[in-house]
Chain A
């Protein structure tokens, strides 16, 4: 109990720093919006704003699960490939059974199982997370391409498609899913014992273990949640584009990693928030959307995302060094 006091003090300090960082990030969002509004006539149209929100929702869903992984000082590079396999399996199930509900269960279940496998590789086999999930990424891609054999599955029931392309009160459905998981994710991370244990593991795994945190079980949970969120995201994509192909999630991993890091979650674990990740997802979407609006060749996108990742981590390491 005697260690509780400095822990609380640190938490308060981090809270105020988090608020300041959120402020800077919102300032960045405002700045990007002003620049895009000036240089593009299309940016401020209702159509484009709803489009940005829809894309932010998708990126956030993938990045929110990833945030939990990165909070434990881990990384999940398999989420893009996870989206592809989950989407293709869900698509098959919907086509074969005609039941969107079974499809949703398949997508989330497949995602969670992949996450579970990652968790086992990281904890039981003690493989560094970035290597285990990077290997998983290539294996999933292989399995997906083999399963699909170049085919496309398309045409799903209208009720299912509503999940991705529908509106409620003029707002796209994915945005509601995003808000729901923002609340769940925020409450889970900040207000539950398990959530706090995840922060503790990231800040100092040895101390967490000595304080009685079941480190292995929490880590497996975190990877499974990241996988399940990728499975959920795959369903939103499926419902939106109304077709499934082997290469569906290929370009999603790096932007999701970038969104988490830009959102202020430290790659070294223990600090960051799910709300921050939402702002990060918004910034990433605005940048990529802006490049589309300004008709910049889409080949620039991986390059720009790569630079954003490096900048975000550099700022993170600098902040930590000043903090020490």
Chain B
């Protein structure tokens, strides 16, 4: 129902100031309040810690662009991480474990996609249901305990460097480039934009809307499986509650980055900035010794401000 004027006023250019201002304000506030913030070591730390979130926020952007949502992505990340840990401990093969984590992500992504596209169940309720399923499976497999004894070969993926650059940053940068290429330089990307903006046109053009939606959710699941490798390496263990709430940070990053929930207007670079903004907020609050639970409330406030701006834009 959006008219031509609406989409013009929400061009990516019009959003640059929003995310950028948020980021600059956050950096200025924390730079002045905590002396440890603006050091090279801490900035590298923020970027490294943001990599897992970016791996989730990238597919979340694509999914939200199709007027969808994936609430299960944090729980799928958790379950993938547990399967990865259990597999590597029992078989000793990191490759096999990584493939197992990807397979878990693939299964959940495919399940989400089929429920949304074929069974016509609204995305937020589909993924709320699969969130419960993934969380239940995580608890069942681990009996509520941490899985420890990960070999150093896995841990190295988080702590290692290539040419002085931390390995997780290289992985996340590759993931960003791949998503960017998919979204802006392939037919898949064009169809994703159409899925959110004008689904009927896609149908009339003879494209399988169902197939497209399934692929979008499979992408989300696979990225969660991939991120499980980084999370397991970072924690050097797997825990049934480790990724709970990560979907909230991911959705927050996408919203702060200026992707709209209703008209399918997405902006991938905005998501990257949004992820860094959430990372800066968490890091700064950590330095100020604010408890993690309160950080969540601050991120929520950040989202409301971002959505408020989004709401103002759509009214123009």
User: Would A307 and B133 count as touching, CB distance under 8 A?
Assistant: yes
Question: Are B311 and A127 neighbours in the complex by a CB distance under 8 Å?
Answer: yes
B-side interface mostly: helix
Expressed in whole angstroms, the Cα–Cα distance for A135 and B261 within the complex equals 14
Number of A-B contacts (CB under 8 A): 125
Interface positions of B from 277 to 316, Cβ below 8 Å from A: 291, 293-301, 303-304, 307-308, 311, 314
- Secondary structure at the A interface, as helix, strand, loop or mixed, is helix
Contact (Cβ within 8 A) B132 A127: no
Q: How far is the CA of A135 from the CA of B122 in the complex (A)?
A: 18
A126 touches B131 (CB 8 A): no
| Residue A310, interface by CB 8 Å | yes
A131 and B261 form a contact (CB under 8 A)? yes
Q: Which residues of B contact A149 (CB under 8 A)?
A: 291
Query: A299 to B144, Cβ gap below 8 A?
Result: yes
Which residues of B lie under 8 Å from residue A305 when comparing CB positions? 132
* Residues in A98-132 with C-beta less than 8 Å from chain B: 121, 125-128, 130-131
Chain A, residues 127-146, CB within 8 Å of chain B (1/0): the string is 11011001110110111111
**Residue from A77, A128, A139, A141 with most neighbouring chain B CB atoms (10 Å):** A139
Q: At the interface, yes or no: B125 with Cβ under 8 Å from chain A?
A: yes
Q: B-facing mask of A265-309, CB < 8 A → 1, else 0?
A: 001000000000000000000000000000001011111111101
* CB-based contact B248/A317 at 8 Å: no
Q: Is B86 an interface residue, CB under 8 A from the partner? A: no
Chain B interfacial residues counted at CB < 8 A: 46
Contacts of A317 in B (CB 8 A): 119-121
Report yes or no: A306 in contact with B293, Cβ–Cβ below 8 A: no
Q: Does B200 make an interface contact (CB < 8 A)?
A: no
- Are B132 and A309 closer than 8 Å at their CB atoms? yes
Residues of B within 8 A of A301 (CB): 136
Q: Top 10 A-B pairs ranked by shortest CB distance?
A: A306-B132, A303-B136, A145-B293, A142-B297, A299-B139, A139-B300, A142-B296, A310-B129, A306-B129, A302-B132
Q: In the complex the two chains form, is B300's CB within 8 Å of A142's CB?
A: yes
A235 in the interface (beta carbon within 8 A): no
User: Which chain B residue lies CB-closest to A261?
Assistant: B125
A138 to B250, CA, bound (A): 13
A303 engages B132 (CB within 8 Å): yes
Q: How far is the CA of A221 from the CA of B294 in the complex (A)?
A: 29
Minimal beta-carbon separation of A261 from chain B (angstroms): 8
Taking the nearest CB of chain B, how far is it from the CB of A133, in angstroms?
10
CB proximity of B181 to chain A, nearest CB, Å: 28
The reply to whether B297 and A143 form a contact with Cβ atoms under 8 Å apart is yes
B133 touches A303 (CB 8 A): yes
